[in-house]
Structure 1
Amino acid sequence: MLLLVGLVLCLTSAHALSSFPQKFQVGNLDEDMVVKCNTSEEQVTWTLNGEAEPMAELVTEGRTLTILGLDLPATGNYSCWAGSVLLDTTYVLVRSTSPPGKEGMNISCQADSYRGSLRCSWRAPSFTVFRARLMRSNGSFSDWVHVAGRRGRFNASLIDPSFCPFAEELHPLQLHLEGLSDNSFINLTVHFFIRDIVQPDPPQELTVRRRGDQLHLSWAPPASWPLPRSYFALLYRLQYELPNGTQVNKDLEGTEEMSLQEDARRVRISCRDPYASPTWSPWSAWQEVEVAQQRGPAVH
């Protein structure tokens, strides 16, 4: 019973992490870990989560503290002191022995164009904070983006500063994630090509004009889609609804206008990259078609 009470006290005394500590170390479960105090002082005292006598197997020698057989009760905030003066702080975590796999975390990324920016999301209910960055095979990487979760769901907006939209994509981009709970640490890397995750925004400026018995339609690429249009082509899918409720699709490439012979009551449009990702953009809003005026009988 005393052992159980001690374990509960140690676990509840740990500080809940809402951001990455300025300095932290990760160790393996049941292995020794050495923590060093960054100071010129020869002798220091240590606390764990503010407790002067932590319930953990510790050996101190000068500026060095050794945790014998790291376990969950031994994780937390280790601080070294010279009297009442705080010298240094290190947050100690255990490397997760059974981290959720990429499939279990449901990691997905999406880009709206070839501009080097993308959005990623994942699930990890047992972790409280993540940080993410993009990495290239040549060793270059972006700055860390810190991500706080909500109900175990994490979303990050990332920018690859070395991305070139005109260069051939020979090597996949890497998404590197590091996550913390109050006492555990995970890290993993996901590889993908930008061309495989591109989903354009909906086309814009869809207009419908009636010209006699025909409908003339025109539109523009999404504002986020890169230029020039001759290089970054788009395949369009026009959908229109007939008066009887039937919906008809037409795929169009190399044009941003067309004429319809059929009588439609509303139209909308989508697009995708014709050479890479097969993912269509969301539909634009329905555009209602002006009802054709009926000619009355001739008067004699």
Structure 2
Amino acid sequence: MMQYKHKWSTLAHGFPENFVLVIKDEDPVTLSCNTTIDSNITWKFHGEVTEDVALEDGVQQNGKNLTLSDVGANMLGEYTCWAEGQKLSSIYLLRKAEEESKIFFLHCWAKSYDCNFGCKWNDTRFTEVRLGLGHNCAEGQKSCHWVKSSEKLQDGGFQFQLFHSLLPYAEESTMLEVTAEAKENFNILRTTKKFYLRDIIRPDSPQLVKCEELEKGLNVIIKPPSTWSTPHSFFSLEHEIEYVQRDDGQTKNSSFPLIPKKISKLRVRSRDSLVQSAWSEWSPWNNVKY
């Protein structure tokens, strides 16, 4: 028997409000009209009465229910139920897409321990994508709040901004659970990814304030990025300096703020010193003159 899940969702562009998700090569599936009426119900498929549509022999109506067998691609789409010329409800029959390598389609990051983080969906086969945060979204519950893409990227991917309620000062014991639904025609891929916020931390590039010439070298003063969590005494960053020596053009790196004097340019990057997060992008090269 075909496994299926009834889905209820908040309205999001490109996604139907109500749909049934079917699993390939398993059947039958039953659609139910959302009404208390149990007789004189007419079902339509894309606006045409089901008896008039070539759906093979796989359609059987019983009161307000419509049972579909041997579901093929030609049977996917919108079904509506009617009584006395009035449309009572609409439901879409969609197919669960293949799940190969799905975990790599979704990449998330956080610039700080504040209440938001970003995600990118990078599988360009899909025309619509939405994300939901929380176990209720992973379970497909009605209470899930779906988030639409904040930006469609030039490479065909989708970018999102999500908000969480984790306390930044508390020891992290709860994993974030992000569910993605990606749609292409009448196919939907659903995937859930779990991670700790600390595992996706990647600060923005730090600010190179100035270089102070001392007797033993240059003291590089670095300021955390404006997007980093405060107070900085609690959310500490470690910095790395990359510089080019003026005499021989060699590139060197230092984890200490005091570097040699005879350099032509330098740049800096940062990461969370406590959890050893991913490094930020390098700041732009700065020419050194003194």
- TM-score, with length taken from structure 2: 0.80
Which range moves more in the overlay, 32-41 or 85-94? 32-41
What whole-Å deviation, never above 9, does each CA across 1:265-284 have from its counterpart, x for those lacking one? Answer: 21211110122134211111
Q: Contact 2:208/2:268 (CA < 8 Å) preserved in 1?
A: no
Q: Give the one of 235, 238, 244 matched to 1:235.
A: 238
What whole-Å deviation, never above 9, does each CA across 1:151-172 have from its counterpart, x for those lacking one? Answer: 6533222111x21111111232
In 2: Cα distance, 1:152 partner to 1:59 partner: 41
1:127 deviation in Å?
A: 2.9
In 2: Cα distance, 1:182 partner to 1:25 partner: 14
Instruction: Determine helix, strand or coil for the equivalent of 2:114.
Output: coil
**Counterpart of 1:101?**
101
| Unpaired stretches in structure 1, ≥5 consecutive residues | 1-16, 253-257, 293-300
Q: Give the one of 29, 33, 40 matched to 2:29.
A: 33
2:223 is the alignment partner of 1:224: no
In 2: Cα distance, 1:78 partner to 1:142 partner: 24
In 2: Cα distance, 1:260 partner to 1:146 partner: 47
Q: Contact 1:71/1:94 (CA < 8 Å) preserved in 2?
A: no
Alignment of 1:176-255 (within 5 A): 176-210=179-213, 215-243=218-246, 244-252=248-256
- TM-score, with length taken from structure 1: 0.78
**Counterpart of 1:49?**
46
| Unpaired stretches in structure 2, ≥5 consecutive residues | 1-11
Q: Contact 1:197/1:277 (CA < 8 Å) preserved in 2?
A: no
In 1: Cα distance, 2:31 partner to 2:40 partner: 14
**Counterpart of 2:8?**
none
**Counterpart of 1:72?**
73
**Counterpart of 2:7?**
none
In 2: Cα distance, 1:149 partner to 1:71 partner: 31
1:259 deviation in Å?
A: 4.6
In 2: Cα distance, 1:212 partner to 1:204 partner: 24
Q: Contact 1:34/1:65 (CA < 8 Å) preserved in 2?
A: yes
**Counterpart of 1:144?**
146
In 1: Cα distance, 2:230 partner to 2:114 partner: 10
Amino acid corresponding to residue 203 of structure 2 in structure 1: P
Alignment of 1:150-165 (within 5 A): 153-160=157-164, 162-165=165-168
Instruction: Determine helix, strand or coil for the equivalent of 1:188.
Output: strand
How many matched pairs? 266
Q: Contact 1:136/1:172 (CA < 8 Å) preserved in 2?
A: no
1:289 deviation in Å?
A: 1.5
Task: Give me the identity figure in percent.
Answer: 27
In 2: Cα distance, 1:210 partner to 1:71 partner: 74
1:247 deviation in Å?
A: 1.6
Q: Contact 2:28/2:70 (CA < 8 Å) preserved in 1?
A: yes
What whole-Å deviation, never above 9, does each CA across 1:234-269 have from its counterpart, x for those lacking one? Answer: 1111122111321221113xxxxx454422221211
> RMSD across aligned C-alpha pairs, in angstroms?
2.8
2:24 is the alignment partner of 1:20: no
**Counterpart of 2:93?**
92
Q: Contact 2:206/2:224 (CA < 8 Å) preserved in 1?
A: yes
Q: 1:27 to 1:58 in 2, by over 3 A?
A: same
